[in-house]
Amino acid sequence: MNFNDKQKEEFSFQALGTNCEFIIYGCNAKYIGNIGKREVEIFEKNFSSYDGNSEIGKINKNSGKLTELSRECFDLIKKSIFYSELTEDFFDITIKPLVNLWSVGKDNFNIPSDKTINKYRELVDYKKIELREQSSEIKLNSGQQIDLGAIAKGYMADKLKDIFVTLGVKSGIINLGGNIVLIGSNINEKPWTIGIQDPFENRGEYVGIVSLIDKSIVTSGVYERFSIKDNKVYSHIINPKTAYPIVGEILSISIISNKSIDGDGLSTGLYILGIEKSLKILKELNLDGIFITKDKKVIITEGIRKNFILTNEEFNIV
């Protein structure tokens, strides 16, 4: 690397409902980072399920009717369905009515009546989405609503990496609210070191450190958003089959992959599936993962074990 490659720019902004950060090295880092920021803003405008004018907003408003989509949106929905199939249907973008009903992490969190839960549960089923490949059209079953929140950050992080690399970036980090994508190695030509958040402590307290080059690491965790009622912790991830938020053994799951969309698309569904089934699926897909449980156990797949250092003695690797 020459002198100019060591120029560093850091970006920090709010988008996609979370904190976004880039660290970029190189002489055009500032210019390139601003392009990336703008891309995130454009993407958010188009894909937010909270904006009635976005493509997702239009699909939801048109529930029961055909809506023509951009190819990008059509393909992202198709990709989401691929992850549903990989995770025994636990990842389901038609989850939105249940997300709204439960409002986990919000002030109005409340446990709905069984009757209401059953009514909403019937709306959730991605298999009822009709996709017309030729015309890029979609039709939800009447009353269905979609939310790409569980996959959008991974998709966008990959897109940013493509843009940055095309523009010549050889070293950098993209972090979209816990979806971390690494470009190359760090500025000293060593692996990047990424802290795995301690789910019991404030942000920035770690269980351990993982060393990676040019990979994506995506974490889904209860600690990000949850509600507590009668000493029970309800996570922001909802099991589409029971229509209840998960109150499980796993507090966080981090997936290491080449593409961030794989990590994001899988982490939510695997979280519901539990450790044993997740380990089997990760092995079949040749991906790695780190799980942290309620009783402070750390489970790490074979492929990543030598890259992980436990830094917190309260936890045990099993």
Binding site for ligand AMP (CB under 6 A): 90-93, 95, 99, 147, 149-150, 220, 236-238, 240, 264, 267-268
- Nearer to Mg ion by Cβ, of 84 and 268: the residue is 268
What is the greatest pairwise CA distance in the chain?
A: 66
**Residue 64 CB, nearest approach to ligand AMP (Å):** 21
Token pair 């120029």 is found at 7
**Residue 278 CB, nearest approach to ligand AMP (Å):** 13
- Nearer to ligand AMP by Cβ, of 169 and 217: the residue is 217
**Residue 8 CB, nearest approach to ligand AMP (Å):** 28
Written as six digits, the tokens of 143 are 């009353």
- Nearer to Mg ion by Cβ, of 216 and 293: the residue is 216
- Interacting partner of 91 out of Mg ion, ligand AMP, none (Cβ under 5 to 8 A depending on kind): ligand AMP
CA angle 116, 120, 125 (to 5 degrees): 160
Q: How far apart are CA 93 and CA 81, in angstroms?
A: 8
Written as six digits, the tokens of 303 are 């492929």
Q: How far apart are CA 202 and CA 223, in angstroms?
A: 9
The residue at minimum Cβ distance from ligand AMP is 150
Nearest Cα neighbor of 7 from 189, 187, 213 is: 187
**Residue 2 CB, nearest approach to ligand AMP (Å):** 38
Quick check: helix, strand or coil at residue 156?
Answer: helix
222 backbone dihedrals φ, ψ, rounded to 5°: -60, -35
**Contacts (Cβ under 8 Å, ≥6 apart) of 230:** none
**Residue 152 CB, nearest approach to ligand AMP (Å):** 8
- Interacting partner of 139 out of Mg ion, ligand AMP, none (Cβ under 5 to 8 A depending on kind): none
- Nearer to Mg ion by Cβ, of 44 and 264: the residue is 264
- Interacting partner of 129 out of ligand AMP, Mg ion, none (Cβ under 5 to 8 A depending on kind): none
- Nearer to Mg ion by Cβ, of 144 and 268: the residue is 268
What's the sign of the alpha-carbon dihedral 32, 34, 38, 41? positive
**Contacts (Cβ under 8 Å, ≥6 apart) of 270:** 87, 253, 255, 277, 278, 281, 282, 289
- Interacting partner of 149 out of Mg ion, ligand AMP, none (Cβ under 5 to 8 A depending on kind): ligand AMP
209 backbone dihedrals φ, ψ, rounded to 5°: -125, 135
**Cα Rg, the chain, nearest whole Å:** 20
- The site for Mg ion (CB under 5 A) is made up of 150, 264, 267-268
- Nearer to ligand AMP by Cβ, of 182 and 273: the residue is 273
**Residue 47 CB, nearest approach to ligand AMP (Å):** 13
**Residue 170 CB, nearest approach to ligand AMP (Å):** 28
- Nearer to Mg ion by Cβ, of 67 and 179: the residue is 179
